[in-house]
Amino acid sequence: MKQSKTFIPTLREVPADADVKSHQLLLRAGFIRQSTSGVYSYLPLGKKVLANIEKIVREEMDAVGGNEVLLPALQQAELWQESGRWEHYGPELIRLKDRHNRDFALGPTHEEVITALVRDEVKSYKKLPLTLYQIQTKFRDEKRPRFGLLRGREFIMKDAYSFHATQESLDETYDDMVQAYKNIFTRLGLNFRAVIADSGSIGGKDTHEFMVLSEIGEDTIAYSDTSDYAANIEMAEVKVDYSAPDVDMTELQKVETPDQKTIEDVAAFLEVPASNIVKTLVFKVDEELVVVLARGDHEVNDIKLKHALDAETAELATDEEIVELLGSHIGSLGPIKLPVGVKVVADHAIKSIRNGVAGANEDGYHYTGVNPGRDFAVDAYEDIRFIQVGDPSPDGEGTIKFAEGIEVGHVFKLGTKYSEALNGMFLDENGRNQPFIMGCYGIGVSRVMAAVAEQYQDAYGFTWPQQVTPYDVHLITVNTKDDAQNELSEDLYKLLTSYRYDVLHDDRKERAGVKFADSDLIGLPVRVTVGKKAVDGIVEVKVRQTGETFEWAKEELIDRLN
Ligand code: ATP
Ligand code: MG
Ligand code: MG
Ligand code: MG
C-alpha cells in the first residue's frame, strides 16, 4: 500500500480527552476516531489490526468445532420478554421502536436470538452438540463509556454458544473453549490470566474470565504467586436471610462514643485499628437501595466499593429512604438484620474482622466484640471467597497477590437457563423431551485491540507484535525527488510483496522528519529506509521493538528478514 493513497491521519499532540495510553496512541497514530461518546470509527490501520485479531479468533474457534454465523443486531422485544431480560437487563439495553410502534433492542449479547434459532431447527439429540459463533457489533449503553475502545457503547464481540444433550458434553466443550481462549490470548502476545470469575461459588468451575494484567484494568484479581490459581475479587453479592436467628447481643458490648463521627475518630477513641471497624453504608443506585459492608480503614476498599456500585452517581441513601425500605432494621451503622431481597455487597476483607466495632444504631454509641457472619444476619457468608494479599492460596500453592486486570474474555456454563425460558427442547435418546444444556463464550475483540495497544508501545509509538501488526514492513523513501531512491524503493516494494510481506510504502512528498515520526507512531515491526545509499543498493533496516539497526544490501534483505 502506498501511503500517499491511504488514510492515516496522525496527530502530533496528545488528544486532551484521552486518558489512557492505548486510547491516546490509537488516536494519534491514526487507527481510530471517536464518532460520539463510546462510539468509534476504525480507520484503515485500525481495521487491519481488528482483522488480524479476528483471524486468530476464527482459527481457534474453528479448531474446537465452532461454526461461524451472523445473527441480527436488531432484536424483537418478544424474545427478551420470553427470557425475562426485557425487564431485568436495565438501562444498558438500547431499546427502540419501529414504525408500527413495536419494541426492539439492539443486541448487547445473543442468548435469546440463538436459543430461539436453535430451538426451531434442532429437535433431536443426534444433532448435538452444536457450537455456533459470530463476530459482530454489540450495543450496550454503558453508564460510563471510557478508555476508548476498552469500554464502548458500540463494540465488537466474538460470542459463541454451545448446545448439548448432556452435562458431560458441555463440560468437554467448555474445557476446549478455555484452551482455545488461552491459545488466542497467547498468540496475541498478551500478558493474561484465566481467573475464576464467580467469587460466590466455591470451586468456580462454571465461569472463568480472561484478564489481561494492566494497571488500568477495572477488575481486581487475586492470584497465587507460584501456581495458576487466580480469582476475580469482584464485590460479592450476599444473600440475606430474614429468618436467621437474632443477633446475640450478649457477646456485644455497647460503649459510649460521644461525638465520634468518623471511623478514624471512633478508632482513635476506642484505641482499635480503623481496619477493625465494620462500616455499613446504604447507597442509592438507580433508585435501588444497596447495603454495603466494608472494612473501615481501606481507602482502596472505598474506591472499589464505589466502583462495584458503578457509583459515580450512587448517593448515600437518606435516613427516610432507609427506614422506608428496611423498616427499623437498620440505622446508619450497626449490627444488622436485613430483610430478604435487599441487595448487599460486602468487601472481601470484612470476613477477616474478629471482635470488631460497629455502630449501635444509636447516636453516640458503638458495639465492640462484633463478628461479621455471626452478628450480621447474612446467611451466605460461608460461600464467599474472602481473600486478602498475603493469604495462602486456596489451592495450597503459594501466596496471594493482587493485580488489576482488563476483562478480555468470559466463558460461562449457562445450563438450561435460556432453553427453559425460551422452550428450547430436544428429544433425548429415550425419546424424552429435554431442555438444551448451554454454554456461552465471549471475547471483546475491540477491547482486545486496545489491550494489545496498551501493552505494546514505547515513548515513540506502537511496537506491534507480528501477529497483529497492520503491516509487516514500513518502507520509507527519504527523498522522493531522488530517482535512485524511488527506483530502489519500487524494486524493494515488489520484492517484499512477492515474498508475502505486507508493505506500507511511505512515498509521500513529506520531509524525512515527518516520515520518521509517523513511522515511529505507527510502529510496524520492521522499517526499511531507502536514503542516500540507494545509489549503492544499500538500505537501513530498523527493528522497531528493539531499536537495532542494520545496513543491508538489497540482495541480502529477504534472507536476513526471514
Ligand atoms: P465488563 O465487566 O467489562 O462490563 P462484561 O462482564 O459486562 O464486561 P460480558 O457480558 O462478559 O462483559 O461480555 C463478553 C466480553 O465482551 C467481555 O469479556 C469484554 O471483553 C467485552 N465487553 C463487554 N463490554 C464491553 C464494552 N462496553 N466495550 C468493549 N468490550 C466489552
Ligand atoms: Mg458490563
Ligand atoms: Mg465483567
Ligand atoms: Mg463478563
Answer yes or no: is pLDDT of 343 > 80. no
Say if ligand 1 is within 6 A of residue 408 CB. yes
Alpha carbon of 389 to ligand 2 centroid (Å) = 26
308 lines ligand 1 (CB under 6 A): no
Closest CA to 181 of 163, 196, 193: 193
Strands 473-477 and 526-530: parallel
- The tens digit of pLDDT for each residue in 473-504 reads 999 999 999 999 999 999 999 999 999 999 99
User: Strands, E, within 467-531: which ranges?
Assistant: 473-477, 503-506, 526-530
- The minimum-distance atom of ligand 1 relative to the CA of 448 is 20
In the reported structure, the alpha carbon of residue 228 is separated from the centroid of ligand 1 by a whole-number distance in angstroms of 23
The number of beta carbons lying within 10 Å of the beta carbon of residue 432 is 10
Is the CB of residue 93 below 6 angstroms from any atom belonging to ligand 1?
no
DSSP count for the chain of H helices, then E strands? 14, 29
Ligand 1 atom index nearest CA of 209:
18
Which residues fall within 8 angstroms of residue 331, CB to CB, at 6 or more apart? 359, 360, 361, 362
Average pLDDT over residues 438-444: 97
| pLDDT at residue 264 in the model | 82
β-strand partners of 542:
527, 549
Ligand nearest to the CA of 408: 1
Beta strand 103-106 with 74-76: parallel, antiparallel or unpaired? antiparallel
Q: 68-73 — which CB contacts under 8 Å span 24+ positions?
A: 68/132, 68/133, 68/134, 68/135, 69/132, 69/133, 69/134, 70/134, 70/136, 71/107, 71/110, 71/113, 71/114, 71/117, 71/134, 71/136, 72/107, 72/113, 73/106, 73/107, 73/136, 73/137, 73/138, 73/139
Q: How far is ligand 1, taken at its centre, from the CA of residue 108, in Å?
A: 9
Residues with Cβ < 8 Å from 306, sequence gap 6 or more?
Answer: 312, 314
Range from 247-256, 363-372, 384-393 that averages highest in pLDDT: 363-372
pLDDT (tens digit, 9 = 90+) per residue, 106-165? 999 999 999 999 999 999 999 999 999 999 999 999 988 999 999 999 999 999 999 999
This prediction has a pTM of: 0.80
* Orientation angle between helical segments 21-28 and 445-455, nearest 10 degrees: 90
Q: Which ligand is nearest to the CA of 145?
A: 1
**What average pLDDT score do residues 59-81 get?**
98
Alpha-carbon distance of 221 to 406, in angstroms, equals: 10
Distance CA 25, CA 496 (A): 28
Please state the rounded mean pLDDT for residues 335-352. 59
Closest listed residue to residue 231, CA positions, set 241, 220, 243: 220
Nearest CA to 374 out of 277, 482, 259, 248 is that of 248
pLDDT digits (tens, 9 = 90+) for 24-66: 999 999 999 999 999 999 999 999 999 999 999 999 999 999 9
Look at residues 156, 142, 136, 137 and name the one whose alpha carbon lies nearest to residue 37.
142
How far, in Å, CA of 510 to CA of 480, rounded?
8
Question: Which ligand is in closest contact with the Cα of 138?
Answer: 1
C-alpha cell at 218: 477495572
Task: Return the DSSP state at 436.
Answer: P
